Amino acid sequence: MRSRLLLLRRAGARKLLRTFTQSTAVRTDLRARPQLPFLSVPSTRTRVRYLTTERKAQLKYEIKTGIKYTGYIWIAGAALLAAWFAIVQERLERRYPTPHEWRFRTRMDLRGGNCARYEPLPGKLTDWLQVGWWFETTIARLHDPKIDGQGVKDAPHDCPPGTKDVTAKSEEWRRGYFEAMMGYAKAAEYMDGWVLDKSRNIVFPPGVMIGPSNPFPKPLPPGYKGAPREEDCELRFDPPDAIYLRILCTPGFTNRQRIEAGLAYASWLEYKGIAGPASIVYEDAVRLAASERPNLPAEPLDKKTWVLNDAAGPPSENLLTSLTAYATFRARQGDVSSALPILVSILQARRSLPEPEQPAPAPASLAAALNTTAPNKKTSTTSNPWSLLTKLFTPPAYPPPPPDGTAPPVRDPLDLCQEAALSLHIGEILYATAASPAGREEGLGWTREAVDVAEEQLHRLPPRRTEKPDPARAACRECLATGLGNWSAMVARLAREERARKEAAAAAAAAAGQKAGKRRAGWFGGLWGEGVAGAAARAEEKEETSRWAAEEKVIEERQRRVQDLLEDLKPPPRGILSFLQA
């Protein structure tokens, strides 16, 4: 009975509780409460659609816009790089012209070699490995009949291997080929002995290779890892001797080009210490230059003394250049007795050369007419936009061929600077071989004259407006710097010798005065006699010493004054279109 009562009570309580929870008042209170998201319990059964139709459209738009603008940026960057590359190549073409009949890649390689040779990076030395690679690539393309070597044949069998016959090509092609060959030979001089490790494709300097031919290898320079082995190495470039011999034996080159190559080859042999073959090459270049003009009234050169013959008339430019190189070679080898007459004859021949022709002055009426018409025409030409556009898109013309060197030169600034260099050589020889102070002072006088002429010509040259190499300026600058150095060394040596001589004379006079003083009767007489002799010696010493000391101060002031002339300052930039100016 009791258990049934308990069950009935529990059933009634559950019914009352269910009625209370389902009442209207309670439901109204629950609905009035705020329904906040962070107060609700998350449900695992709830599914949210993040990639809706609107979201898909937005993502597609953003992706397409990103791709579009990324493409625009890449296209603009590529256009800027292409424009910059074209401007750089145009600038290099105007500075280092190339034959127009070559393909663009071949012309670019030649320009790259010249730029790497003459314009290294700021603060860096010339990378001759890169220079040699540029010229080597250019020559390979010129030898390939499928690229730019159409009509190039192999030279006869008696020529060195690899020699080509370029007689069938045009003058511009042959001139560009000669320029590439000479640049390649110069790079091979600096890279002589460098080897290529074929297993790693790395170039190593000479002397570090491990092998039977090099039992004592040098330590590796900083930056190199692992010494190469001889069985894995080969010479990176051809030897300079082989390249120069190819140039000398190439059919199609002019005598001037052969003389230039011969002098460079002889200089290389002299640098390597092979004086005998170098002398033979120098003599061959002189003989070739002397045989260019067979119709002269007399032989241009004495075959025994190598002195110029005045009866033959003015010598040719090739003969003057080759003979000067041969005379300086003899002087460097110690044969100054034969070198001095040759240099003197060359200097006399240069001083007797004709002056450059000056344009005749125009009549007064013609000058007035030109003054009224010419400026307007020039102004209209320079201010015409069409002429600027034509100049912008027209490739620069390849320069005309230089003179062949068979005619006598004129006394232009370059010739005057070469005269100063001859005076410098003569003064150095006279000073070095003089046995008396008078002979040394004569050599000093020749050196002073050379310095004056070189400085005067540098002042007369027009200001440098382009970055093109100026042979006259380079020759005068080199002559002035060398002359000032020789002058300073000569005066310093004369001053030292004069001081040593005066010190010895003063010591001897002092010793003689002491002996004479001892023989005098009184103490005051000996002191008086020694004082007079000593004062006279000191006065004479001061006079001689002050002369050389004063000249040393003059040289120092001269060096400070010409410092601006010796520095190779670049011209200031002239705007964005400066590469179009000559």
Per-residue tokens: 509 = 């006079």
- pLDDT, tens digit, for every residue of 85-107? 999 999 999 899 999 999 999 99
Indicate if the pLDDT at residue 244 is higher than 80.
yes
Instruction: Tell me how far CA of residue 251 lies from CA of 17, 119, 163, 167, 476, in angstroms.
Output: 123, 32, 9, 6, 35
CA distance 501 to 494: 10
Mean pLDDT score of the chain: 82
* pLDDT given at position 366: 39
CB atoms within 10 A of CB 268: 21
Indicate if the pLDDT at residue 283 is higher than 90.
yes
pTM, rounded to two decimals? 0.79
Q: Is residue 434 part of a domain?
A: yes
Q: Is residue 363 part of a domain?
A: no
Averaged pLDDT for residues 304-321: 91
Per-residue tokens: 142 = 């010129």
Q: Are 96 and 111 in contact (CB under 8 A)?
A: yes
Indicate if the pLDDT at residue 446 is higher than 50.
yes
* pLDDT given at position 467: 57
* pLDDT given at position 569: 56
Averaged pLDDT for residues 187-210: 93
Q: Are 194 and 127 in contact (CB under 8 A)?
A: no
Per-residue tokens: 21 = 């929870």
Q: Are 548 and 59 in contact (CB under 8 A)?
A: no
Q: Is residue 534 part of a domain?
A: yes
Q: Helix or strand or coil: residue 101?
A: coil
Kindly state the DSSP code that residue 410 receives in the 8-state scheme. -
Indicate if the pLDDT at residue 311 is higher than 60.
yes
CA distance 343 to 443: 14
* pLDDT given at position 521: 45
* pLDDT given at position 389: 67
Indicate if the pLDDT at residue 328 is higher than 90.
yes
Range of the domain at 421: 412-568
* pLDDT given at position 99: 95
| Pairing of the two strands 153-154 and 164-165 | antiparallel
* pLDDT given at position 582: 45
Q: Is residue 365 part of a domain?
A: no
pLDDT interval class at 516 (50, 70, 90): low
CA distance 440 to 427: 9
When mean pLDDT is compared over 62-66, 302-306, 489-493, 574-578, the highest value belongs to 62-66
Averaged pLDDT for residues 292-316: 89
User: What is the residue type of 333?
Assistant: Q
CB atoms within 10 A of CB 355: 8
Indicate if the pLDDT at residue 529 is higher than 50.
no
CA distance 157 to 139: 20
| Pairing of the two strands 233-235 and 195-197 | antiparallel
pLDDT interval class at 30 (50, 70, 90): very low
Helix (H) / strand (E) containing 186: helix 171-190
Instruction: Tell me how far CA of residue 64 lies from CA of 58, 60, 71, 139, in angstroms.
Output: 10, 6, 11, 49
CA distance 346 to 426: 11
Q: Is residue 523 part of a domain?
A: yes
Q: Is residue 431 part of a domain?
A: yes
Indicate if the pLDDT at residue 116 is higher than 90.
yes
The DSSP result for 234-300, as a single string, is EESS--HHHHHHHHHH-TT--HHHHHHHHHHHHHHHHHTT-HHHHHHHHHHHHHHHHTS-TT-SS-S
* pLDDT given at position 228: 92
Per-residue tokens: 515 = 């002996």
CA distance 40 to 24: 23
User: HEC states along 133-170?
Assistant: HHHHHHHHHHHCCCCCCCCCEECCCCCCCCCEECCCCC
* pLDDT given at position 15: 53
Residue 235 bridge partners (DSSP): 195
* pLDDT given at position 501: 78
Q: Is residue 351 part of a domain?
A: no
Q: Is residue 52 part of a domain?
A: no
- pLDDT, tens digit, for every residue of 396-442? 889 999 999 999 998 888 888 999 999 999 999 999 888 787 888 89
* pLDDT given at position 67: 95
CA angle centred on 337, ends 331 and 341, rounded to 5°: 90
Indicate if the pLDDT at residue 23 is higher than 90.
no
- pLDDT, tens digit, for every residue of 537-573? 555 555 555 777 788 888 888 888 888 777 765 555 4
Indicate if the pLDDT at residue 13 is higher than 60.
no
pLDDT interval class at 3 (50, 70, 90): low
Based on the structure, what is the number of domains in the chain? 1
When mean pLDDT is compared over 233-237, 543-547, 572-576, the highest value belongs to 233-237
Share of residues in the chain with pLDDT > 70 (%): 76
- pLDDT, tens digit, for every residue of 125-171? 999 999 999 999 999 999 999 999 999 999 988 889 999 999 999 99
pLDDT interval class at 269 (50, 70, 90): very high
